[in-house]
Chains A and B, each alone.
Chain A
Amino acid sequence: MENNLVAFLCDLLGKIPLEIMQYEFMRMALLGLLIITPMAAICGTQVVNFNMSFFSDAIGHSAFAGVAVGLVMAISPEYTMPALALLVGLAIMAVKHRSGLSSDTVIGVMFSAVVAAGLAIVSRYPDAMKNSQMFLYGDILTISEKDILLMLGLAVVFTVFQLFAFNKMICIELNPQLAKAHRIKVGIYQYFFAALLSLVVIFAVKAIGVLLVTAMLITPAAAARNLASSYGKMVWISLIIGIVSSVAGLFLSFQEWMQTSTGATIVLCSCMFFIISLIFRKKKRA
């Protein structure tokens, strides 16, 4: 039944009257992007306003260790990657809450730890090298049905959380102390958000690669922040820029005159939006 869902959605996309949509892998790639991009764009606004881009970078890099651990324990990386990302995300939050260290320092330590762990394992098992290399650049074109199902599951949880917690997250972003004084359970929301962000990042890694995953999250949001006059508008602009960049990037990378990596093309598209946003930036009132 689940496979039918993915097949149904793919068929739907197949109705788009474009030649390249006849290819199964293109329909899958577009479907994958259409699920992950809105989540990345919304998370992105929160990451930008929360100052958490380093956090998402660290989670992205945990993908290495995730793949490596999976290979050693003979578990499919499909499961070990999200599991490790979740673990690292929650660990960063926990250490931050319990120690007097700045979040940059905590993330820096965790970041190095997971990358070192990944490298250590990979260096012992050279076979793992090939496999983990694909995560450097990502490959949306090889996305599997299982990946899409997992992403759909994440999208459901993500939507429920955002519908309930979106405004509370704004209060916490603004000033946790004020939020706490006004009866918002800051800790729970922060942990929940860290968990969801970790999962969104790790699925985005599959699409776009470790090197560019942070760009996928923050570039649309950064451009939106330049243009928006209110928080509500920032979310919509970020969403539109994210989706347009993803779709445009996917199609452009397939043009005969381009033939570039899809992930890189998507990021270049959103960077173009960022440059345009700098030109049309709202003048800050004194």
Chain B
Amino acid sequence: MKLPPNHDCKCVNAVTFKGVSVGSNDVNILQNINAVIPHAGCTAIVGPNGAGKTTLVLALLNEIDYTGTIEFCSNRRPRIGYVPQQLAFDRGMPLTVTEFIAAFHQKRPLCFGIQKELKQKIHDLLGETGCLHLAQRPLGALSGGELQRVMLAGALSQDPELLILDEPASGIDFKGGEVCCELLERFRKAHGFTQLMVSHDLNTVMAHATHVICLNRTVITQGDPKAVLTQEVLARAFGPHIGCSCGKDHNHGK
């Protein structure tokens, strides 16, 4: 899909969190988050279960109430492409993959057909994300990994300035996850968007992220993953039994 060169933002950071807190009834889910998402980079949010990673994404999407401010480059919300962790939807709905992506773009009701131009765009995009064979399949019949690829194609079709992926590898087997990350890196370089991914797979983060926000209710540390994800930091974030030698050797592990 040809994307117009609209990513001419001069900012260093695409998003800046300033003192962001989320909480309800004395329970602090996130406390005083100060962090940045560098422009055109691949930022990963890591942390243990219940650290508030998805909550931070939801705050960024304006889906939940928060205190503090979230500043965007040029003071306007970027166009977001979003791939949720698990898409809760009615699996019996007779919606094909092509229709799913087209519904977000076409004004004319889908029952009058999909415009030729859009169909071609979707075709190309599905080809690039490796799910062309799924084009006419019902969305409800896809496996977890297939669905995530289709979601990715859908998010990319938004021509995003900020692409947000919640646990991009959780529904995919290891090999699939790797391919997905490489694909994203290629896309990011070609289209120049800012990528934000939530992940608990430290191997992926080490291999692909350019910036990391290590989170456990508050920011433990942030920066270049190879520099900041030390054993000590990981122990503080995940507890002393993390048992991962990611900092030294990221082929180890799974």
A181 to B151, CA, bound (A): 13
Tell yes or no: A174 within 8 A of B by CB. Answer: yes
- Considering only CB atoms and an 8 Å cut-off, how many residues of chain B contact the other chain? 39
Tell yes or no: B173 within 8 A of A by CB. Answer: no
Contact A166 B94 (CB under 8 A): no
Tell yes or no: A189 within 8 A of B by CB. Answer: no
Contact B94 A230 (CB under 8 A): yes
Which residues of B92-127 have CB atoms within 8 Å of chain A's CB atoms? 92-96, 99-100, 102-104, 106-113
> Which chain B residue has the least Cβ–Cβ distance from A238?
B111
Contact A231 B110 (CB under 8 A): yes
Which residues of B130-159 have CB atoms within 8 Å of chain A's CB atoms? 136-141, 155, 158
Contact B99 A232 (CB under 8 A): yes
Contact B82 A171 (CB under 8 A): no
Contact B96 A170 (CB under 8 A): no
Counting chain A residues whose Cβ lies within 8 A of the other chain, the interface size class is: 20 to 34
Residue from the list A162, A163, A230, A236 in contact with B99, Cβ < 8 A: A230
Contact B81 A229 (CB under 8 A): no
Contact B111 A182 (CB under 8 A): no
Contact A174 B100 (CB under 8 A): yes
> Which chain B residue has the least Cβ–Cβ distance from A229?
B94
Contact A233 B94 (CB under 8 A): yes
Taking A173-B93, A180-B63, A182-B81 as contacts, is the C-beta distance between A231 and B87 under 8 angstroms? no
Which residues of A251-286 have CB atoms within 8 Å of chain B's CB atoms? 284-286
Residue from the list B80, B81, B92, B109 in contact with A225, Cβ < 8 A: B92
Nearest-CB distance from B121 to chain A (Å)?
A: 15
Contact B95 A181 (CB under 8 A): no
Tell yes or no: A235 within 8 A of B by CB. Answer: yes
Q: Please indicate the chain A residues that have their CB under 8 angstroms from the CB of B61 in the complex.
A: 177, 180-181
**Which of B62, B93, B94, B110 lies at the interface centre, i.e. has the most chain A CB atoms within 10 A of its CB?**
B94
Q: Please report whether the interface of chain B is mostly helix, strand, loop or mixed according to DSSP.
A: loop
Taking A166-B110, A235-B111, A284-B141 as contacts, is the C-beta distance between A174 and B93 under 8 angstroms? yes
Contact A174 B89 (CB under 8 A): yes
> Which chain B residue has the least Cβ–Cβ distance from A184?
B104
Nearest-CB distance from B226 to chain A (Å)?
A: 31
Nearest-CB distance from B106 to chain A (Å)?
A: 6
A180 to B96, CA, bound (A): 21
Q: Please indicate the chain B residues that have their CB under 8 angstroms from the CB of A230 in the complex.
A: 94-96, 99, 136, 138
Residue from the list A162, A177, A229 in contact with B63, Cβ < 8 A: A177
Taking A167-B109, A167-B110, A236-B111 as contacts, is the C-beta distance between A231 and B95 under 8 angstroms? yes
Tell yes or no: B88 within 8 A of A by CB. Answer: yes
A41 to B112, CA, bound (A): 16
Q: Please indicate the chain B residues that have their CB under 8 angstroms from the CB of A168 in the complex.
A: 103
Tell yes or no: A178 within 8 A of B by CB. Answer: yes
Tell yes or no: A119 within 8 A of B by CB. Answer: no
Contact A232 B82 (CB under 8 A): no
Contact A174 B95 (CB under 8 A): yes
Q: Please indicate the chain A residues that have their CB under 8 angstroms from the CB of B164 in the complex.
A: 181
A181 to B36, CA, bound (A): 20
Contact B138 A163 (CB under 8 A): no
Contact A49 B104 (CB under 8 A): no
Nearest-CB distance from B1 to chain A (Å)?
A: 16
Nearest-CB distance from B133 to chain A (Å)?
A: 13
A285 to B146, CA, bound (A): 14
Contact B63 A170 (CB under 8 A): no
> Which chain A residue has the least Cβ–Cβ distance from B164?
A181
Question: Nearest 5 A-B pairs (CB), nearest first?
Answer: A181-B82, A166-B109, A235-B111, A232-B111, A170-B103
Report which A residues bind B (CB closer than 8 A).
Answer: 49, 51, 162-164, 166-168, 170-171, 173-175, 177-178, 180-184, 225, 228-236, 284-286
Report which B residues bind A (CB closer than 8 A).
Answer: 61-63, 79-82, 84, 87-90, 92-96, 99-100, 102-104, 106-113, 136-141, 155, 158, 164
Given A164-B107, A167-B104, A228-B94, output 20 extra A-B contacts at Cβ < 8 Å: A49-B90, A167-B106, A167-B107, A167-B110, A170-B110, A173-B93, A174-B87, A174-B103, A178-B82, A182-B80, A182-B81, A182-B82, A184-B104, A225-B93, A230-B99, A230-B138, A233-B94, A234-B94, A285-B137, A286-B141
